[in-house]
Amino acid sequence: MAKLAVVTEMRKMTPGDKDTVIAGVFVLAMLLAQVTLVVLARFIARAVAGGPKEVEEPVSAQVAGLAWMMSAGITHPEKAEEEEDQDDIHTPVKIRPEDEAPDSPLGPPPTPFSPSGRQSVFYSKLTTHEHQRLREFRALLNKSAREDPTLLSTPALKRFANDATLCRYLRARDWNLKRAMKMLKASLQWRKAARPEFITWDDVKKEGEEGKQYLSGRDRHGRAVLIARPGRDGGREQASHVRFLIYTLEHATWSDTAEDDLPLGAHAEHTSEKLVVLINFTGWTLATAPPMKTARETLAILQEHHPERLAVAVCYNPPWIFAVFWKAISPFIDPNTYRKIRFVNPKREKEVRRMRQMFDMSCVDEDLGGDRSNVFDARAFGDKMRVFDARKAAVLKAKARR
């Protein structure tokens, strides 16, 4: 009965809330290496049960390798709003005509009679309900920007707030307009202060040359692959670590496309913007874990300002404690969330075979079971990143001229 009750509660959670539970359990597993097994077992039980404060307590134990799994789908539940009406929240009535989001000029609107929310080719696989939500969210954002001009005060912020971004924030908050808007406003304020678009390779060169985080092609589904090697962390100061994290995420999620030139919803396809994170735990020890303050800020950046980015996280050669606790909680996890996290023990042929189905192993480093040399050429990588920086600067400059 207790198990059934937990499963029922998990099904009621939003996608972001479910992934937060997963994140909490992983972080608790890390904390287990530092305190007694008895105390941590109690904490993990509370995290799975969805207690009122255990979601935030494990944050202090977060480490860089696990933090990558927080990107996109893992967000804090907003407890102050959970007591409010969770029904659909529509756009306020007082919207000026100029704030209304235009419909697509491409063909007729999608049919409202589809019993399963049939996807429309005109709106990049958005259902009728989702497209309506996007229209309402765009109108609400326009209204908010009119009332607070600082919200979208720069070309970079306007470029960020495209349809794809709005859809990600809506998905992270289960298409709840009020909660999605609160989350988006916080991200816009953060981006205005951090200015992530303008960080360059030369700003993070010392961190980047360690080869601990970088993009490495795409998987067999065309999704960008982000390699993370927490064992290579040089233990630099917090500011440089966080700055490099921000730069890496911008590189991983950047698009040269001028999204705002397209009809509403036409750039809302979310498959291509998902990331596959391949985490190599070889060489990882508690000594390479970042300070707790750094881990806390890392987690905040990933889950609050990069929602709905994670497609799959592959944990290669993880510490044994990870697999033990994952098996213990797996019966309580929603199947869709469960499939996001995968463990690969290089000594188990079945797990290695699954990894080969995901990746072209000729493009995967040898220390990850692939055929490519894993020697990290810092100079060549730096040259590549400078080319990226120049291209990004040109796009932003063109945007500013409009």
pLDDT in tens, 291-325: 777 777 877 788 889 888 888 888 898 877 666 66
Average pLDDT of the residues in 363-376 = 85
Q: Do 125-194 and 207-400 share a fold?
A: no
Q: Between 66 and 106, where is the model more confident?
A: 66
Higher pLDDT pick, 128 / 27: 128
Q: Are 74 and 22 in contact (CB under 8 A)?
A: yes
Q: For residue 119, what are its two tokens?
A: 């996807």
**What is the CATH topology of the domain spanning 125-194?**
Helicase, Ruva Protein; domain 3 (1.10.8)
The residues near 213 (Cβ < 8 Å, ≥ 6 apart) are: 226, 227, 228, 229, 244, 245, 248
Q: How much is the pLDDT for 57?
A: 35
Contact 128, 117 (CB under 8 A): yes
CATH class of the domain at 207-400: alpha beta
So where are the chain's domains?
A: 125-194, 207-400
pLDDT at 92: 42
Per-residue pLDDT, averaged over 193-209, amounts to 92
Q: Calculate mean pLDDT across residues 358-383.
A: 87
In this prediction the pTM is 0.69
- Is residue 183 very low, low, confident or very high in pLDDT (cuts 50, 70, 90)? very high
Buried/exposed 55-86: b ≥16 CB within 10 Å, e otherwise: bebbbebbbbbbbbbbbbbbbbbbeeeeeeee
Tell me the per-residue pLDDT of 141-150, one tens digit each, with 9 for 90 and over: 999 999 999 9
**Cβ(18)–Cβ(337) under 8 Å?**
yes
User: What is the band of 88 on the pLDDT scale with cuts at 50, 70, 90?
Assistant: very low
Q: Is 102 exposed, middle or buried (0-12, 13-18, 19+ CB in 10 A)?
A: exposed
Predicted confidence at residue 90, as pLDDT, reads: 43
Q: Give, to the nearest 10 degrees, the angle between helix 128-147 and helix 177-194.
A: 50
Per-residue pLDDT at 72 exceeds 90: no
Query: Is residue 62's pLDDT more than 70?
Result: no
Tokens of 19: 């992934």
Q: Which two tokens stand for residue 38?
A: 């008895």
Distance CA 125, CA 118 (A): 9
CA 342 to chain CA mean position, Å: 16
pLDDT bin (cut points 50, 70, 90) of residue 32 is: very low
